[in-house]
Structures are given as C-alpha cells and as structure tokens.
C-alpha cells in the first residue's frame, strides 16, 4: 500500500494531525484488529442488498408499491452515501474509534426499530437511520484497520477487509432469503442486533482511537451533496409515473444537478472541504472512483432486478433464490483476498479491468438466459463469471484509491470511494427500475421477463464501459510504504 504524499497539505488543516502510534508498539493480535474492523463493516454492507430477498414478502405484507420498494433500499444507500465524508471529518476531530462506535450503536438501534415497523413509511424511515449509522462504520473501519496493523501486513489486511466487504454485499440475497423463509422479513433486521452488541466491545479492545486533521466540519457541503443526489434519484424514480417531461421530474433533476454543481463550487473555496478536490489531481484516485461508481451502478442495479425475477417469475422461495445465486455470491469470498494479495505483482489495473470485463459478460449472459422456464444450469455459467469478476475488483479498487494518498488523507479518500459506490448503487437501482417499469414491467410472472431483460442489459453495458475506463488506470504493480 503506497503511503506517498503527492502534494502538500499545508493550509488545509487548522491543527496538526495526531499520528497513530507505530504498529510495532502495538500488542494487539492482527487477526483481532481485522475482525474488529471487518465485522461491523460486514453488517453494514450486508444491509445493502439483504432486503432485496424480502421485497416480494414486504410487498405482500405491507402493500408496498414498486416505487416504495425502491425507497426501502435507496433510503439506506442515500443516507449512507451522503453522510460518510461528514463521519470521516468528525472522526478526525473527536476520534475515529469514537465515531465508529456511535455508528455501530445507531445502526443497531435503527435495525431493531426497522424490525418493529408496521408500515412501509416507518420501514423507509428506519432504513434511512440505519444508513446514518453505516456512514460512520464503512469508511472509518478501513482507516482504523490500516492504522492497526504493521506495514508489512497492510496489503493482506486490506485484501481481507475488501473480501469481507464484497462478501457482505454478495451474501445479502442468500442470508436474507434464508432468514425470511426460516423466520420472517422482520428477522433480517433483528439479525443485526447481536452483531452490534458484540462489535462494540470488540472495537474497544482491538482498535486504537486515532485522530486526523482537526478541521471544522463542512455541514454546507453535506447539505449540498445530499440534497443534490436526492434530487437526481427522486427525479429518476418518479419519471415513469409522472412523465419525464413533468414539472416535478424535470424540476427535481435540474435542482439536483444545480445543487451538485454548487457543492463542487463550495468545495473548491471552503478552507476545510468535505471532499478536497485536490484528490482528483491523482489519476489513480479519480479513475478508481469513477470505476467504483459505475461498477456499483451496473452490478447492484442488476442484482436488484434479478433477485425479484427468481421469486416472481421462477416461483422460488427467498431461500431458493439465494441458493441459486450462490455461485455468484460465494466466488468473491474466495477471489477477493487472492486478488488483494497478488495485486502488487500483477497490478491493480489488470485485475480491475479483467474483473469488470468478466462481470459485464456475466450480466449480458444472464439477460439472454432469462425466461419463464430458466433452469439453474442455464444461469450457473454467468453467475460464476459475474462472481469471479466481482472478486477481482473489490480489493484492487480499494488499493488503487489509496495508492498515492498521504496517511492523513486515507480516511477521506476511503470515504469518498465508499460514498461514490453507494451513490452508484442508488442510481443503478433507480435507473434500472425506471427501465423496467418503462418497458411495462410488473411484479407478476407474465409482466416481468420482457421488461427485466433490457434493464439488466443496461446494467451490463455500464459495467462494460467501466471496464474500458479501468484500462486507463496506472498499472499499480509496485507497493511502497
């Protein structure tokens, strides 16, 4: 993992960052630090897609519409994305572990309240609060881990962390399906409570409370970025129902775009930016984040469509739908740690581009194989291709993002990457669902396949474009410290 400063940061901070003690002075076992950082992160990433397996059941029990089902997912991803960089700033000021622990507590309580929800509106609300907690967990988990392990083990630790992150996202449908079928849809949220109760003392024992540059929190940046993304996603979600030329849809899209432009303008001028624009002068950082956003857009948007296809069209139970996708969901668990370990020798560019090409091919293949009587064997090949592809992307992408960042910038750089991935997920679900409903899609066996195929093709095309973008990344074959 490169820890090389590419440009000065003087004048950007109000006070000198408090350094983390050298790794050699710590007596905490490496495996304990990896577990403490990865367990709550796994819980947060799992909730990205665990709810997809329950959506047909929630639709039946709460009477949720297709539009509200999107918001059950996107309420989480949008607050997750909007608040991550703020959580990083607060962590720098008051202690990264302290904010990390607050995030775990908020996530755990919100999960319990989501499980107790009796209306779609209440469920959407508590999913949004869950996202607030996840925003503090995701970026700080990587920063705390990097500061807790010796330099010699850092690349391997990031590989394991990335594998667990990818596993959390990928296993969401399987675990969600098993829990929904074995208990109820509420149980997918109760599942987080014991994990949260274990994660808090574990973090206190294994992770040091490091600090960063203690600058003023950029609340204006948070409001501009969050409202801008919300406006864009809201316009996309409402487009088919209200008409793409309607005042509400056009107004939302324009307002969202203007707010995002205002965010960039503000970040370029404020002395303590939420997102330092100087990061984007680094080609590895810029392209890796563009790849991350488009990767999430295509892959997780397609997963949202696919999981419901298996239940609505194929008549599978939530558990059976999860079992069918196991070749896809389990492959990253094996591939991601290997990719993280071999990235210094093979290079991040080769791994990321190859992985995205495999993922795009798998999605195109899935779209072609979808029918009223699709068999498991017909989907086995594309599921494996997609899973291997995802596994090749996760760890090298995190490495590429931090490749030329100074240690004090790791938290914000990691937070930016996580933010853009979550925004990509929210946009992917919104756009692909808009393609689905625009093609006349309905949550019925008759009205699903013909509309789902073009939606998955759009996702595959975006991932293919991401693979081409990845070819312009630096080779990333060497790692220094």
DSSP code per residue over 6-41: -S--TTS-SS---PPPPGGG--S-HHHHHHHHHHHH
Of 237, 252, 271, which closes a domain? 271
Residue 4 in domain? no
Q: With contact defined as beta carbons under 8 Å apart, do 177 and 317 qualify?
A: yes
Shared-domain flag, residues 223 and 194: no
Number of domains in the chain: 2
Task: Write down the pTM of the prediction.
Answer: 0.75
DSSP code per residue over 440-455: T--SSHHHHHHHHHHH
Q: 439-461 b/e with 16+ CB inside 10 Å = b? A: eebebeeeebbebbbbbbbbbbe
Residue 9 in domain? no
Write the secondary structure of 179-205 as one string of H (helix), E (strand) and C (coil). Answer: HHHHCCCCHHHHCHHHHHHHHHHHHHH
Residue 18 in domain? no
Residue 481 in domain? no
Instruction: Residue 132: count other Cβ atoms within 10 Å of its Cβ.
Output: 20
Query: How does pLDDT run across 10-23, given as a tens digit for each residue?
Result: 333 333 344 444 44
> What is the distance between the alpha carbons of residues 365 and 82, in angstroms, rounded to a whole number?
34
Q: What is the pLDDT tens value at each position of the chain, 481 positions in all? A: 333 333 333 333 333 344 444 444 445 677 788 888 888 888 887 777 677 777 778 877 787 776 777 788 878 878 887 788 788 888 888 888 999 999 999 999 999 999 998 888 899 999 999 999 998 888 788 778 877 777 667 767 777 776 677 667 667 767 777 777 778 888 888 988 998 999 999 888 888 887 766 667 788 888 898 888 888 888 887 777 777 888 988 998 999 899 999 999 999 988 888 788 999 999 999 999 999 999 989 988 888 888 788 888 888 877 788 788 888 877 877 887 788 788 888 888 999 999 999 999 999 999 999 988 888 899 999 999 998 998 898 778 878 888 888 877 877 787 788 788 878 887 888 889 889 988 887 777 877 888 999 999 999 999 999 999 999 999 877 544 3
Q: Which long-range contacts (CB under 8 A, 24 or more apart) does 334-337 make?
A: 334/391, 335/387, 335/388, 335/390, 335/391, 335/392, 336/159, 336/162, 336/163, 336/166, 336/167, 336/391, 336/392, 336/394, 336/395, 337/156, 337/159, 337/160, 337/162, 337/163, 337/395
Residue 314 in domain? yes
> What is the distance between the alpha carbons of residues 126 and 51, in angstroms, rounded to a whole number?
13
> What is the distance between the alpha carbons of residues 51 and 71, in angstroms, rounded to a whole number?
11
Shared-domain flag, residues 264 and 358: no
Query: How does pLDDT run across 365-405, given as a tens digit for each residue?
Result: 999 999 888 888 999 999 999 989 988 987 788 788 888 88
Q: What pLDDT does residue 90 have?
A: 85
Shared-domain flag, residues 260 and 306: no
Q: With contact defined as beta carbons under 8 Å apart, do 137 and 86 qualify?
A: no
Tokens of 75: 């309420």
> Whose structure tokens read 């607060």?
90
Shared-domain flag, residues 51 and 120: yes
Q: What pLDDT does residue 430 have?
A: 82
Rounded to the nearest 5 percent, the helix, strand and coil shares of the chain are: 80, 0, 20
Of 251, 271, 291, which closes a domain? 271
Shared-domain flag, residues 341 and 380: yes
Of 247, 271, 295, which closes a domain? 271
Shared-domain flag, residues 191 and 256: no
> What is the distance between the alpha carbons of residues 71 and 234, in angstroms, rounded to a whole number?
9
User: In the 8-state DSSP scheme, what is residue 472?
Assistant: T
Question: Which residues constitute the domain of residue 229?
Answer: 218-271
Pick from 190, 52, 61: which is nearest to 114 by CA? 190
Q: What pLDDT does residue 166 have?
A: 65
> What is the distance between the alpha carbons of residues 477 and 481, in angstroms, rounded to a whole number?
14
Pick from 224, 219, 222, 216: which is nearest to 263 by CA? 224
Shared-domain flag, residues 255 and 280: no
Residue 334 in domain? yes
Supply the Cα-derived Rg of the chain in whole angstroms.
21
Residue 480 in domain? no
Shared-domain flag, residues 260 and 301: no
> What is the distance between the alpha carbons of residues 2 and 406, in angstroms, rounded to a whole number?
9
Instruction: Residue 8: count other Cβ atoms within 10 Å of its Cβ.
Output: 9
Q: With contact defined as beta carbons under 8 Å apart, do 130 and 76 qualify?
A: yes
Q: What pLDDT does residue 102 have?
A: 94
Shared-domain flag, residues 267 and 278: no
Residue 199 in domain? yes
The CATH number of whichever domain residue 93 belongs to comes to 1.20.1250.20
> What is the distance between the alpha carbons of residues 303 and 415, in angstroms, rounded to a whole number?
24
> What is the distance between the alpha carbons of residues 419 and 274, in angstroms, rounded to a whole number?
12
Pick from 174, 430, 131, 405: which is nearest to 296 by CA? 430
Shared-domain flag, residues 114 and 40: yes
Q: What pLDDT does residue 481 have?
A: 39
Shared-domain flag, residues 301 and 242: no
Shared-domain flag, residues 263 and 277: no
């Amino acid at each position: 993992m490169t820890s090389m400063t590419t440009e000065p940061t003087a004048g950007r901070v109000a006070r000198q960052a408090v350094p983390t003690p050298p790794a050699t002075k710590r007596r905490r076992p490496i495996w304990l630090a990896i577990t403490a950082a990865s367990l709550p992160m796994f819980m947060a990433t799992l909730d990205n897609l665990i709810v997809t397996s329950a959506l047909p059941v929630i639709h039946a029990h709460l009477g949720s519409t297709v539009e509200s089902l999107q918001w059950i997912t996107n309420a989480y991803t949008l607050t997750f994305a909007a608040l991550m960089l703020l959580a990083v700033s607060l962590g720098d000021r008051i202690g990264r572990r302290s904010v990390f622990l607050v995030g775990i507590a908020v996530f755990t309580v919100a999960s319990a309240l989501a499980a107790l929800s009796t209306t779609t509106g209440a469920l959407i609300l508590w999913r949004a609060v869950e996202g607030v907690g996840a925003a503090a967990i995701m970026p700080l988990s990587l920063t705390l881990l990097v500061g807790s392990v010796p330099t010699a083990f850092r690349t391997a630790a990031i590989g394991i962390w990335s594998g667990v992150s990818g596993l959390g996202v990928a296993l969401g449908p399987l675990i969600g399906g098993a829990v929904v079928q074995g208990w109820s849809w509420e149980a997918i949220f109760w599942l987080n409570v014991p994990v949260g109760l274990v994660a808090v003392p574990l973090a206190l024992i294994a992770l040091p409370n490091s600090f960063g540059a203690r600058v003023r929190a950029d609340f204006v940046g948070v409001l501009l970025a969050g409202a801008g993304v919300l406006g864009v996603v809201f316009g996309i979600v409402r487009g088919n129902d209200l008409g793409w030329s309607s005042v509400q849809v056009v107004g939302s899209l324009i307002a969202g775009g203007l707010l995002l432009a205002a965010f960039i303008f503000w970040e370029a001028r404020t002395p303590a930016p939420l997102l330092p624009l100087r990061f984007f002068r680094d080609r590895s950082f810029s392209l890796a984040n563009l790849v991350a956003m488009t990767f999430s857009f295509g892959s997780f948007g397609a997963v949202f469509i696919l999981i419901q296809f298996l239940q609505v069209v194929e008549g599978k139970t939530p558990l059976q739908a999860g079992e069918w996708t196991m070749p896809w969901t389990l492959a990253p668990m094996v591939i991601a740690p290997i990719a993280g370990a071999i990235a210094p020798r093979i290079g991040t560019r080769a791994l990321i581009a190859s992985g995205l090409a495999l993922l795009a091919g798998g999605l195109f293949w899935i779209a072609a194989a979808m029918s009223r009587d699709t068999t498991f064997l017909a989907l086995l090949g594309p599921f494996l291709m997609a899973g291997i592809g995802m596994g090749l992307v996760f760890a090298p992408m995190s490495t590429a993002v931090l490749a030329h960042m100074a240690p004090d910038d790791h938290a914000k750089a990691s937070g930016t990457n996580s933010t853009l991935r979550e925004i990509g997920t929210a946009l992917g679900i919104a756009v692909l669902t808009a393609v689905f409903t625009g093609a006349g899609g309905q949550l019925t066996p008759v009205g699903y396949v013909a509309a789902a195929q073009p939606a998955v093709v759009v996702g595959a095309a975006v991932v293919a474009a991401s693979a081409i973008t990845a070819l312009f990344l630096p080779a990333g074959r060497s790692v220094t410290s």
